[in-house]
Chains A and B, each alone.
Chain A
Amino acid sequence: MSTTYSTHAYTPGLRVCWCTSVRKERRLPLPGEVLVRKGQTVSQDQIVARTEVPGEVQIVNAASLLEIEPEELERCMLKKVGEMVEKDEIIAFRKGFFGLTKKYVKSPIRGKIEYFSGTTGNVSIRAEPTKIEIDAYIPGNVVETLSNEAVVIETKAALIEGIFGIGGERKGEIYIGVEDPSEEISPENVNERCRGKIVVGGSTASFEAIKRAADFGARGLIVGGLEFKQIKEILGYEIGVAITGHENLSLTIILTEGFGRLEMAKKTFNILKTFEGYNASINGATQIRAGVIRPEIIIPLQKEECREEAEILSSSLKPGTKVRVIRHPYFGCLGRVVDLPIEIDCVEAECQVRVAVVELQNGRKVKVPRANIELFDW
């Protein structure tokens, strides 16, 4: 069997680091105002940019209400484009036959006349804009400001990328709810102490435990896995594609390994346990498509707390590389690559694939399609 020294066709894994430089771009949905400058230190909750989202528009068919042709609308308009109007204020008016009848058009909302057309006879009124503010999300230094759209903040932090999450950005103290990463967090361990915290379970959590976490005001829950069906129980609807982050939930849930009952990787658990009591920023937003977004747990650290390490994710797959198997029948198993045969091989399903021979943590050597492993520093 000939062996390749390394290969490049593999799945990059998720980052789990004791300390790294984390940069977060805080982008406005529309251009607006950036409130901080480059070099400035910001706190987690500090507002760094704001903008106004244009208000909703109401279109009124004024010509038909006035019973005129669209081209006659202009002379009946009482308000000009750009002028403010109150709700129910008359914006167009026509006197009828010898002044005996009067026709009015009232504005359905408070807003500004944006446009009227002599072709369609419509008038559009735009409501006042809605203010949007974005905070720093992580404490750190402003390293970049992008004109009137975005701010980049950098900090040293422990970083854990999850595989799937629901719920958006949340901040809170890390609270460890289990002794061991293989343990399921029991409902009894979810109590008043979880209020305002980001609770770390082990392998999984029951629906009851999740419900209690929400009832006790926990801000987040991090576990190895949940049954895919539980997501429906939690949200009240099924998820078809992994694009999440906007769910209406009081707590954000992050899975570090996948769906099912899955022991949380030891390194992940150890990082969380080491930094219990630290303030973290988490986000469940997941988008497994273009411009991939993975859920994240960021634990900002002081410089002296940093434990720098070499990251394996940018290296190539070669004998000795630490990996995680990400498909049945060895789903979730961790191991090291021992061989990368160059020849195409055949697995049980009769798929002709390139394989890697992986020595699992229990010492067993198994053959796995290379597509079914990811680089993972356990």
Chain B
Amino acid sequence: MQLTLTSQQNIENLRLILATDVGSTTTKARLFKKMENGEYRFISSGEAPTTVEKPFEDVTVGLKNAIREIEELSGYKLLAESTETSILMPFNGRDAGVDLYVSTSSAGGGLQMIVAGVVKTMTTESSERAALGAGAIIMDSLSIDDGIPLHKKIEKLRFLRPDMILLAGGTDGGTKTHVLEMAEVIRAAEPKPRFGVSYRLPVVFAGNKVAAPDIVSMLSEKFFVKVTENIRPVLEIENVEPARNIIHEIFMEHVMSHAPGYEKLVKLVSVPVMPTPAGEGKMMRTIAEAYGINVLGVGLGGATTNIYSVYEGKFVRSVSANLGMSYSIGNVLKSAGVKNIVRWLPFEINESELYDRVGNKMIRPTTIPQTLEDLMIEHAIAREAIRLGFQHHKSLARELKGVHRERTISDVFEQEVKETYIDMKKINMIIGTGGLLSHTPRRQQAALILIDAFQAEGVVRLTVDSAFMMPHLGVLSTVHPRAALEVLEKDCLVRLGTAVVFSGTSEKDKIIGHVQLKTGSETYSLDVRYGELYCIPIGLNVKANLQAKPESDFDVGVGKGKTVSATLDGGVVGVIIDGRGRPLTLPEEPDERKRLLLKWFSAINAYPLKVGEEI
């Protein structure tokens, strides 16, 4: 049911809003309500396994199950009496129906793309940013100058089954030879679409506009070609938005329609379904813009790990397609190695046992940890998935200066020598979302996972998505931005607190600085020892004045030995003083490492155990 939202008045009159995310593992439904004071609030949630499997093979079955949970918990009747899933609309003002239904989705493996350009570090990299920003997973990227012979490129492409190809290359009016050469490769390889053999694979051309007619005539016979504005009209400008928009359009029209049950979902929603990462990314940008800060975010999902950065106005999303907490959990173990996982565990585990537990989670992706030991294993793996995902992100977040979409020639050359432009000491907020981070039994666990995985530095606020609703709010913001922001503020972002991190290395137990925190009523003062973690209970909505004086070889964000004075926000966890040093290293000796981990967990009350207690 595509709704006609013609006027602002119609939008303001939305009283009850249902939003869902049909994820790769779980379908999550959220219900938002306009309260008597006119403010929008989150009121209920329901979740159920996504039903792409037999015997259902229809995503609307899982959708119905998730919505039914909301019905049971909220008392509102949302589903129409029918064998097919159908949402009651509009809201009757009392106990049934909703005025708006929106959804995001990453089921069906999300949007899988191939990008192709001419120069690897220029058009191909821009294409990657456009595709990733649109919420895609990049299966492969090809460039004329990537050193792979043409016939090998063709061979690689032939066996891929993407949902779409993005082709770019050349500045407007410049030489068209190279981008046509890349089109020849695509034509020769003729990759087939992932779903169905009967429809033509979409190719988005966002290159030299002079080459567009040649591209169309070369590819139209075998592909569905859509031409859009050049991603690099001139060398100094990156213009990714038109390509992103076309990708979204094609995702809706061509890709979604081929996943099981999607044709039904598409009919149910009031506005077009958005890819989950695009919804999530939209909210990360909204937060950075609303507070005027640098934000680093992670969407830790079942199949993928999305990292978002909004740094000095530049938005970059990266996705590590095979790092996740369920479907791809085996790949985290494989990529990180047993040693890197085990280093975060305060207990012994036999290597085979660890492999089996990870393998069983991979093949039963919807299960959740029942024991403390299982929970800690998942948290250890989460740290490694984020760490590896962030490593990948840094390779994409490489611009140095300039406003978003604009890059100078000097940036292009400079970026080749710098790993990333992200300086952790300048990150103001870290946001965690995704099933695991939103649902940690204690919020302390999420705070510590984020600090450890990103190796946070300086003074940084920590937040998590309370009940995994950022994608929902992202798609809602396309219809009703005020409602999305109000729910974000009041119900979505959980303020965990602030981390104050001492970067540097020293000897165990040596004093590396001094911290004083003053609230209206209390003063906390402590000497920070190397290797220690502290938690000061500055609660939610409480501000504290910080004075952090590091020793000469330590840095709290403004330079070695320099004192930081700032006003901090408390939170449900409090203010975490991290004296463990950076880079964070754990002892090699197992017993010592376990003791230390237990001490840290105990310091912030992360798990239901005391120092030295065996699990």
Contact = CB atoms under 8 A, between A and B. Distances in A.
B514 to A, nearest CB: 35
Interface in B34-75: 46-49, 51-57, 64-66, 68-69, 72
A196 B552 CA distance: 74
Contacts of A29: 192, 197
Interface string A335-366: 00000001000011111110000000000000
Contacts of B368: 327, 351, 353, 369, 371-372
Contacts of A371: 49, 366-368
A149 B180 CA distance: 32
Given A59-B151, A350-B608, A242 B330 contact: yes
Contacts of B53: 12, 292
Interface stretch (A34-42, A91-99, A111-119): A111-119
Contact of A11 (B47, B107, B359, B364): B364
B439 A351 contact: yes
Nearest to A354: B69
Given A227-B352, A240-B322, A291-B260, 8 more contacts: A56-B151, A122-B184, A229-B355, A240-B333, A326-B360, A350-B442, A371-B49, A372-B367
25 contacts: A9-B49, A12-B55, A57-B188, A70-B177, A114-B188, A115-B184, A115-B218, A124-B188, A126-B188, A163-B364, A228-B355, A238-B330, A259-B359, A288-B363, A289-B52, A290-B109, A326-B364, A327-B367, A327-B368, A328-B370, A331-B360, A347-B371, A348-B371, A351-B370, A371-B367
Contacts of A290: 24, 52, 107-109, 259-260
B357 interface: yes
The SS class assigned to the A binding surface is loop
A314 B184 contact: no
B184 A117 contact: yes
Contacts of A369: 367-368, 370
A249 interface: no
A368 interface: yes
Contacts of A352: 441
Contacts of A206: none
Interface string B245-273: 00000000000000110000000000000
Interface of A: 4, 8-12, 15, 27-31, 54, 56-59, 70, 114-115, 117, 119-122, 124, 126, 149, 163-164, 227-229, 231, 238-242, 258-260, 286, 288-292, 294, 313-314, 326-329, 331, 342, 347-353, 368-369, 371-372, 374
B527 to A, nearest CB: 33
Given A119-B176, A119-B180, A328 B188 contact: no
Contact of B154 (A28, A56, A115, A228): A56
Given A227-B352, A228-B355, A349-B371, A288 B55 contact: no
B547 to A, nearest CB: 36
B164 interface: no
B362 A313 contact: no
Nearest to B331: A240
A238 B55 contact: no
A323 to B, nearest CB: 13
Interface in B317-355: 322, 327-328, 330-331, 333-335, 351-352, 355
Nearest 3 pairs of A and B residues by beta carbon = A240-B331, A228-B359, A350-B441
A352 B148 CA distance: 52
B289 interface: no
B198 A149 contact: yes
B64 A288 contact: no
Contacts of A259: 355-356, 359-360, 363
Contact of B49 (A11, A124, A328): A11
A241 B370 contact: no
Contacts of A227: 352, 355-356
B518 to A, nearest CB: 33
Interface in B160-203: 176-177, 180-181, 184-185, 187-190, 192, 197-198
A267 to B, nearest CB: 18
Contacts of A240: 322, 328, 330-331, 333-335
A327 B369 contact: yes
Contacts of B64: 8
B215 to A, nearest CB: 11
A148 to B, nearest CB: 10
A124 B357 CA distance: 50
B474 interface: no
B364 A327 contact: yes
A31 B334 contact: no
Given A291-B260, A328-B357, A313 B55 contact: yes
A130 to B, nearest CB: 11
B328 A241 contact: yes
Interface string B437-462: 00101100000000000000000000
